[in-house]
């Protein structure tokens, strides 16, 4: 039973990393291209409700992710495998700090309502640049989990053949 729960913990962590990965790349590929067309009259509905909903959901998901990382680290503490969840945890912390220290400022400005087109362009530009960095951090989380599962699968297949 314990082994099944530990596997479930890793699967949950990978699912969460995949959610960040997918959300981030979706943002860059499908939302960022419309930014030049946004005006003070139409940006709000394109960004603010979605960002608010994502913030609500990801706040709790991030806490669970951190707990999953800690469980994974404790499980693998005496092995080299511990570096995968340590890396993921550090990237989660970095993305969280980037979000809370910098990105939230621009979220709040957009939620308050921007009336000046020049200010909107400036705020959206800074918000998008910071989000590219965050997506790279999220991509790192996903890659670490993908590499972990790939290496684990390879080891399993190698052991099975012997």
What is the per-residue pLDDT across 26-38, written as a single tens digit (0 to 9) for each? 999 999 999 999 9
In the chain, the number of structural domains is 1
Which one-letter DSSP state was computed for residue 125? H
Q: Is 90 exceeded by the pLDDT of residue 148?
A: yes
What mean pLDDT, rounded, does the chain reach? 96
Query: What would the mean pLDDT of 35-63 be, rounded to a whole number?
Result: 96
Contact 17, 138 (CB under 8 A): yes
- What residues contact 94, with CB distance under 8 A and at least 6 apart? 137
What percentage of the chain exceeds 90 in pLDDT?
92
Q: Is 90 exceeded by the pLDDT of residue 41?
A: yes
pLDDT of residue 158: 80
pLDDT of residue 155: 79
Distance between CA atoms of 129 and 92, rounded to whole angstroms? 18
Domain range spanning residue 14?
2-161
């Amino acid at each position: 039973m314990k082994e099944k729960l530990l596997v479930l913990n890793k699967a949950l962590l990978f699912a969460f990393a995949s959610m960040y990965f997918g959300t981030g790349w979706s943002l860059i590929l499908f939302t960022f291209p419309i930014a030049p067309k946004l005006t003070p009259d139409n940006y709000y509905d394109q960004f603010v409700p979605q960002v608010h909903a994502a913030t609500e959901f990801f706040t709790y998901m991030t806490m669970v992710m951190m707990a999953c990382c800690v469980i994974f680290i404790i499980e693998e503490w005496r092995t080299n495998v511990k570096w995968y969840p340590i890396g993921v945890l550090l990237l989660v912390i970095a993305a969280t700090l980037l979000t809370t220290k910098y990105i939230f400022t621009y979220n709040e400005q957009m939620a308050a309502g921007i009336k000046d087109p020049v200010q909107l362009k400036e705020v959206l530009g800074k918000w998008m640049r910071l989000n590219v960095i965050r997506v790279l951090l999220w991509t790192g989380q996903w890659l670490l989990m993908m590499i972990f599962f790939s290496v684990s699968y390879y080891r399993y297949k190698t052991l099975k053949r012997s």
